Every structure is written in structure tokens, then in C-alpha cells.
Structure 1
Amino acid sequence: MSASAPAPAPVTKSPSRIPRIPFWAQIVAGLVVGVLLGWLARSQDIGWLQETLAQVGGIFVQLLKLAVAPLVFFAILVSITNLRKVNNAARLAAQTLVWFMITSLIAVAIGLAIGLLTNPGSGTGLTPKDGKLPENKGSWIDFLTGIVPTDVITPFTELNVLQIVFMAAVAGIAALKLGDKAQPILTLSESVLELLQKALWWVIRLAPIGTAGLIGKAIVNYGWDLLGKYATFTADVYIGCALVLFGVYPLLLATVAKLNPVQFYKGAWPAIQLAFVSRSSVGTMPVTQRVTERLGVPKEYASFSVPFGATTKMDGCAAIYPALAAIFIAQIFDVQLGVKEYLLIAFVSVIGSAATAGLTGATVMLTLTLSTLGLPLEGVGLLMAIDPILDMMRTATNVAGQALVPVIVSAREKILDVAAYESASGSPVDERDDEREVAVPAAA
């Protein structure tokens, strides 16, 4: 009797694999949808759509702000204590601060040059009576006295980031001095920070939806007509930021760090685009730190430099913008600025940038600049209507600089992982999803 033939193995269909939509593409789609819905809601006066866009955008921003206070505190505390794991920690910290100042000086110089060339306040039709006093003012006395909190609760409830940074820095230095006795607190702080970052990642995944709401709300509220009176000033801010973002930064990477600038933008782009949408350096901080590490910066150093930069490094909000705004407001109020005033603008931009502290908007920094120059604070009111449109580009520039400086310092100190830098790419929304594709069952 012949042996029976073996039964054929069952045929199984391999699943079709659909590539994940890149995070940048999701953001772009959110921008396009937001523009279309905002235009529709405004042109057709659709009340429920206007309200929906406002609520969607507001909820997204509120979710980001919800984590800001504890995130800043534990990020700064942990970053300071992590310096003990880094060789030449003091030298790295000093180099970081120096490059923060150098890039800020370059940025403010570009802002002043553009303002002097274009005269953004001339021919706008705006007059001093159009201005109004800001609700929040900044002066050097307010800045200096506002660093130290009166209690440990109010800075968190009122979201005073500068005071939170102060308390976190004191706690971090004290933990370093205590040594092993502080280890239980440090372990808890690291766990809380990871928890906060994980929760914030979930919020960041909602960014495309938040983008549609925020852009749609801006178009509903301001339309396109508003840009007419502020056309030159708006163009100046965007051009100034673009020159720093795509001119100065690549030049520094190529000449100082001897690195390929294109690769930097491939790695840092997810943080830059999220900053553009969220208008918050602190809210973008987890993404900024992730892309900085992917660009080859050692984790221990990145965990110090990125939180430090997110609260003090503001080339867009604290350098380009106040320089242009001071010239704009001086021309509206017919006040002559001289060399002394321009030097004061540069000084305020470098020293006072911590006044912005990674918050959405730069009103405090602007009032600090105006009060130093003796310009009318009513000028701030002239810029409030256009501020959300300007703040997107400013914040994107801020965040790019916050990722750039650690890369430059690491390259100069020979601690940069060049292989990681040259291969950095992909979306950082979830580290497990970088190269993964989504598998779905094949059709029968």
C-alpha cells in the first residue's frame, strides 16, 4: 500500500501593511483643515462651527498648560542632578550659556537690521490712540523681585514659570549637596517626570486636531483683513525668524560644529512643527529633548540643556520680536531711537529672556523692553491682535535654537554621537512607533 501524499499546508494571506502617516503630514493636514474650516465659519457666519473651533483649540492648549508647572519643576530639578553623571559638567553648563547668549545677540542684531531697513511702523494708519495698556507689565524691578516666590503654592496655581524654575534650581542644588541622602527624592522625581512626559505624549498625539482648532479660531477671529495694517511688521517677524532659523543656524552647524545642517532639520523638524502649532516652548519640551537625544546629544546633557533652554532660550520671542516691536512702536509714537537705545535692546534681549519663561506669548518680555527704553507701554496694545499669528513663527525659532545649542556644544566638546546625528530622522511622537508600520488584515 502506497503512502498517502501529505496534505497541503493551508494558505494564509500575509497582512497588508499600510505605512503610518508621518506626524509632520498630520500637522500639515490639520493646518489645511483648520484654514478651510475657519474661512468657512467666518465667511458664512456659522456660529456653531466658530464655537467648535474655539473649543477644540482651547482644550488642546489647556491640556498642554495643565502639565507645564509640574513638568518644569521636575525637569529642572532632575536635569541639575543629572549633571553629576556628566564629565566636565560645569564646563558644559558654561558653554551652553555662552552659546545661548551668542545666538541671541545674532538674532537681535538681525531684528534691528530688518526694522531699520523696512520701517515697519510707517504708513500703517495706526496712531497712539489705537494702543492700550497691557494687563501684565514687566520691569527690571518686577523681574528681579519676581524671581523669588512668596510661597511654594502660588507659582504653580498662577503658572509663574520663572519662580518655578527658581525653586527647582534650589531643590536640585540642595539635592546635589545632600548626596546619597537625597536619592529617594531623586528617584521619586525621576518617576514623576517620566509619568508627566508620558501623559504629555498623549496630548501631543492630539496636535493635528488641536492645530485645526487653533488655526481655524485665528482665522475666525482675525480674518485676513487684519494683516493689512501690520503687513510690514508681520513680514519682518517671519523674515527675521526665517533668517535665523534657516540661515544663521545652518551656518553655525556647518562652520562651528562641522555638521550637515540638513540632517539637523531632519531630526529636529518634529519639535519645530509642534512648536509652531502649540506656541509653547515648555509644552514642546518633551519632543525637543527626544529629538535632541536622537541627534546624538548624550541623554544626561540633553536632560539639562533642553529644560534650561525651554525656559531661557528665546531667539524668536526675546530677541527678534522685541527688537522689531520697539522700532515699530517708536515709529507709531514718533519717538526717535539712537545707538544707546539699540544697545539697550540687545542687552535686554540677552539678559531678560528668562522673563518669557517658555510661556505662550511674549508680552512680559516686550513690556520689559519698552519700559527699559522709556517707550509707551500702550504700544503693546497695538500688537495684541496680531500676536497669535506672530507667535507661531517665534516659538518655532525658539525651539529650533533650544535643540541647536546642545548639538553645537556636544560637537565642540567631542561628546556628540556623530553616527546617531547622521541617521536621525522620523517622528518622535512615540519612540516605539518611529519605523513601525500599521498592519491590517488583508481583504478576503
Structure 2
Amino acid sequence: MSSTTPDAAAPAPATRTPRHTRGRVPFWAQVFIGLAVGVLIGFVARQFDQAWLAETLKTVGGIFVQLLRVIVVPLVLTAIIVSIANLRQVTNAARLAGETLVWFAITAAASVVVGITLGLVTNPGANANLDTSAGEAPSSTGSWLDFLTSIVPGNFLGLEVSTSTEEGGALTSSPDFNILQLVVLGIAIGAAALSVGAKAEPFVNLTRSALEVFSRLVWWVIRLSPLGTAALIGSAVANYGWDLLGPLALFTADVYLGCAIVLLVIYPIVARANGLSPVKFFAGAWPAIQFAFVSRSSIGTLPLTQRVVTHNLGVSRDYASFAVPIGATTKMDGCAAIYPALAAITVAQLFGVDLAFTDYLLIAFVSIVGSAATAGLTGAVVMLTLTLSTLGLPLEGVGLLLAIDPIIDMIRTATNVAGQALVPTIVAKRNGLLDQSVYDSNTFGGADARLELDEDEVAPAPTTDDTRVAVPA
């Protein structure tokens, strides 16, 4: 550990405004403009039955999310390899990992209590006007054994092939990846490099350089967020509108209210209890939260979540590169806590099944622990089927809720990502891995500007703490 003393005679460097923000619309404003334009275009496409416009919006939005998903693979792999290899500088790495998982469980427990309470107070299933005979059981369900199969990589990059049936009966196959398997691979390779020692330095340096390249690629894709936001929200409005909300209006309102309570009450309490300003947290994490809302993908938002956690919230890059990908696969307070709790109560009421006190305890257990069992799989439906099957509730209830899933998935994903940013931040704060000056400088809009710094502009000053590394712009 070393430190340097600046030359007293040297003039203080002038503070420069990031090039992207001089004379231009701030990035956060661009995203909101894209959001408004997308809603307008989606309304036009739906109101005037412009199928070609709706399909265009869907295609553009899908391409944008796919770009993020593709870049996630090398970004997560290289980030975790480098962070594990750098653990030789951190004396409490095991404790950090354990504390992160504990806080994941604490906030998940609080979230599921919110979901169960809302369900018991409002009785969304008893007040829903639905024909239960129209429900269909899903073709696949979640299982506790999924965790074991999902952590064992099928190949070097955790790649999979998903098959779907298009109109006309044609089968199409597309490559996909299992993010949890990538995490396992990264940890294994990083641990091997750590074990090899000095001989692995060339490999680690090459991986570190690759990480910088992939990080730059990610930011180029994120710069397309205004366009992607317009396409994604426009597609949602054009294809779904609000027609499907009538029969399940109370259930939908409960999901949004539950997520709002977690976002605006539970998370601020947790932040304040750990000496952090909730306003500063939301200002710093807002770019990722708002993007998660329109993209409906925690994995697609992962690169942006990682960036705001380090650049805006001041979390050590070594720790964040490990904690954020883990959070993106297992920390889902919206999809794995609030939603399955409310959905299970709703389905039970729809089918006239009385739940005992032990059933509510099972809901809480599945929500806290079960998300790990579905970590490598897609969507909240898998988590819901795991909850219903554990309680012995009819799986046909899943089919009744799928119609409105795209609408409620927006707030669920935003809640997921907020939690994925909060937990690493409070763990970093508790362990001296948080740059408090960076955290306290967050303002709405100003935090976006920090993300836009280029390599030739002012970057954060290097830290003298061996457990921290400077975060390059």
C-alpha cells in the first residue's frame, strides 16, 4: 500500500464538464424523451391498427436487448475472473461473500412479507372476475433440482440452444446462455489463476485488458438506450395496451403497490440503517432502474447496473464485479418475492383453496431460498410454478396470470435491479469499500453525466487502499 503527496506548488486541476453533456440534452432526459415518444408511437400503432409499426417497434426493441445480452457474456466472464484474481489484495473476501448473501436474504424476507400482507388485506383472487376453466398449466415447471443442473456448465461459455415454435408449426432454434453458469466458470478460472500465482499474470493482464474493451462496448450499446427505450415501451403499449387489466386489476395494483413499498420504504430504511442517504442511492442507481423498467430484463440491464454501482455509487470495482452478477441471478425481490407471494394467494382464492399459516411460511421460504433454484432459468413464471407446486396449488392458475405478465413485469424488474444495486452498496459501506465522496455527489441527472466520462477526461483519483482499485471512466 502506498500513497503520494501532491506537489504543493502545483495548481489544482481544473474541473471539466464531461464532453457528452456540454451543449447537449442530458442522457437521463434523452431516455425520458424516448419513453414519451415510445408511448405515443405505441398508442398510434394500437389505436389505428398499424401492425407493421407494432412489429417494427418489437423488432428494434428486441435487437437492443439482444445486443446487451450478447455483450453480457464476455463482460461477466472477464469481470469475475479479474475480480477473483485480485482477491489476493482482499483479506476478508469470504466474509464479503457471506455478508452479501445474508443481505440478499434479509431484503427478500422483508419483500415477501410485504407481498403476503397485501394479499391477505386486499384478497385479489376473491375479487377477480375470471373463469378458472380457461387456465392452462405451463409446459414446464420450476424444480428445486434446477439449481444443481443450472450451476454445472454444459460448455465453456454456458451456451444453450432454445427451441421455439413459430406460426405455421415451424421450429426455430436460437443460442442462449446461462448467466449462473458464467458466474461459476468465472469463479473457477479466477480461482485457478489465483492459485497459479505469478505465472498467471500474463493471462490476468490480458483478461483485464479484455474487460476494459468489453466495458467500452457495453457503454456504446447503452448510449442507444433512448432508441431502445422508445421501441420497448412502444412495443408494450402497441401489443398489450391496458385491455387485459380489467379482470385482474386489483392483483396488478397489488404488484405495483408492493414493489413501490419495497422501493420507497424498505430499501430507504435499509440504506438509512447503514448510514446511507436513500435520495443519493436512487439518484445514482436511477439510470439502471429506469432502464430495467422498460427492458424487463435484469440480465439485459446487468452491464448498466454494474456501471452505476461502481461509477455512481462508489463501490469497489473488484467487489462489485463479483456481487452484481451474483445479484442479477439470485436477487429478485420483485419476481421471486413480492410476485409469487401475491400470485400464490390469488391463485388459491381463485380456486377456492384455503391456505394455512404453514403455507404462508412455505411461501416465505420459497421466496427467500427458491430464487437460487431458478437462477439459470428465464422469467418469473418458473419461480411462480415452483411456489405453486410446493404449496400444492393448481398450476392452471399460471395461465390465468400470463396475460398481464408483460405489464407487471416492468415494475418487478425495476425492483429487482434496485435491490441488486443496493445490497453491494451497503455491504461495501459496512466494509470500507465505498467511496463516500462519490456516493454523496449523486444528483438526479448529474449521476448520468458521470457515466458519460471518456478515457481522455477527468477520471476518479486513484485510491491508496489496497482493497480498492480506481474505477476508470
TM-score by length of 2: 0.82
What whole-Å deviation, never above 9, does each CA across 1:108-144 have from its counterpart, x for those lacking one?
Answer: 1111111111111123222332222324421112332
Letter in 2 for 1:192: A
Q: Structure 2: how far apart are the matches of 1:361 and 1:397?
A: 14
Alignment-derived partner of residue 327 in structure 2: 309
C-alpha distance 242-406 of structure 1, shift in aligned 2 (>3 A): same
Letter in 2 for 1:280: S
Cα offset for 1:374? 1.7
Q: Does 1:385 align with 2:403?
A: yes
List aligned pairs for 1:146-185, cutoff 5 A.
146-152=150-156, 155-156=159-160, 157-185=175-203
List aligned pairs for 1:248-327, cutoff 5 A.
248-255=266-273, 257-293=274-310, 294-327=312-345
Letter in 2 for 1:382: L
Picking from 236, 240, 249, the partner of 2:254 is: 236
What whole-Å deviation, never above 9, does each CA across 1:229-281 have from its counterpart, x for those lacking one?
Answer: 121111111111111111111111112x1222111111111111111122222
Letter in 2 for 1:220: A
Q: Does 1:430 align with 2:452?
A: yes
Gaps of 5+ in 2: 1-20, 161-174, 459-473
CA contact (8 A) 2:180 2:326 kept: no
Q: Does 1:119 align with 2:140?
A: no
Alignment-derived partner of residue 40 in structure 1: 44
List aligned pairs for 1:204-223, cutoff 5 A.
204-223=222-241
Cα offset for 1:47? 2.5
C-alpha RMSD over aligned residues: 2.4
Picking from 90, 98, 101, the partner of 1:97 is: 101
Q: Structure 2: how far apart are the matches of 1:171 and 1:222?
A: 44
CA contact (8 A) 2:157 2:177 kept: no
CA contact (8 A) 1:114 1:324 kept: yes
What whole-Å deviation, never above 9, does each CA across 1:74-114 have from its counterpart, x for those lacking one?
Answer: 33333333333223222222211111111111111111111
Letter in 1 for 2:416: N
CA contact (8 A) 1:175 1:182 kept: yes
What whole-Å deviation, never above 9, does each CA across 1:383-422 have from its counterpart, x for those lacking one?
Answer: 2221121111111111111111122122222342222211
List aligned pairs for 1:7-156, cutoff 5 A.
19-152=23-156, 155-156=159-160
C-alpha distance 199-330 of structure 1, shift in aligned 2 (>3 A): same
C-alpha distance 376-178 of structure 1, shift in aligned 2 (>3 A): farther
Q: Structure 2: how far apart are the matches of 1:100 and 1:42?
A: 40
Picking from 207, 213, 219, the partner of 1:189 is: 207
TM-score by length of 1: 0.87
C-alpha distance 387-80 of structure 1, shift in aligned 2 (>3 A): farther
Say which SS state the counterpart of residue 140 (structure 1) adopts.
coil
Letter in 2 for 1:320: I
Alignment-derived partner of residue 370 in structure 2: 352
Q: Structure 1: how far apart are the matches of 2:313 and 2:65?
A: 28
Q: Structure 1: how far apart are the matches of 2:392 and 2:456?
A: 51
Picking from 242, 251, 256, the partner of 1:224 is: 242
Identity %: 61
Gaps of 5+ in 1: 1-16, 437-444
CA contact (8 A) 2:259 2:412 kept: yes
C-alpha distance 418-152 of structure 1, shift in aligned 2 (>3 A): closer
Q: Structure 2: how far apart are the matches of 1:289 and 1:349?
A: 24
CA contact (8 A) 2:146 2:374 kept: no
Q: Structure 1: how far apart are the matches of 2:203 and 2:105?
A: 33
Say which SS state the counterpart of residue 158 (structure 1) adopts.
strand
Alignment-derived partner of residue 367 in structure 1: 385
More divergent stretch after superposition (150-159 vs 45-54): 150-159
What whole-Å deviation, never above 9, does each CA across 1:153-182 have from its counterpart, x for those lacking one?
Answer: 663543222333333332233332222333
Picking from 199, 218, 221, the partner of 2:217 is: 199
C-alpha distance 167-111 of structure 1, shift in aligned 2 (>3 A): same
Cα offset for 1:429? 4.5
Cα offset for 1:286? 2.5
C-alpha distance 72-388 of structure 1, shift in aligned 2 (>3 A): farther
C-alpha distance 266-144 of structure 1, shift in aligned 2 (>3 A): same
Q: Structure 1: how far apart are the matches of 2:102 and 2:111?
A: 14
C-alpha distance 132-413 of structure 1, shift in aligned 2 (>3 A): same
More divergent stretch after superposition (72-81 vs 267-276): 72-81
- Greater Rg over alpha carbons, structure: 1
Say which SS state the counterpart of residue 151 (structure 2) adopts.
coil
C-alpha distance 61-415 of structure 1, shift in aligned 2 (>3 A): closer
Q: Structure 1: how far apart are the matches of 2:49 and 2:214?
A: 40
C-alpha distance 358-204 of structure 1, shift in aligned 2 (>3 A): farther
Q: Structure 2: how far apart are the matches of 1:121 and 1:151?
A: 44
C-alpha distance 339-144 of structure 1, shift in aligned 2 (>3 A): farther
CA contact (8 A) 1:23 1:429 kept: no
Picking from 406, 428, 438, the partner of 1:420 is: 438
Letter in 1 for 2:366: V
Q: Structure 2: how far apart are the matches of 1:210 and 1:252?
A: 32
Cα offset for 1:217? 1.4
Q: Structure 2: how far apart are the matches of 1:359 and 1:390?
A: 19
Moved over 6 A (4+): 433-436
Alignment-derived partner of residue 247 in structure 1: 265
Q: Structure 1: how far apart are the matches of 2:208 and 2:400?
A: 44
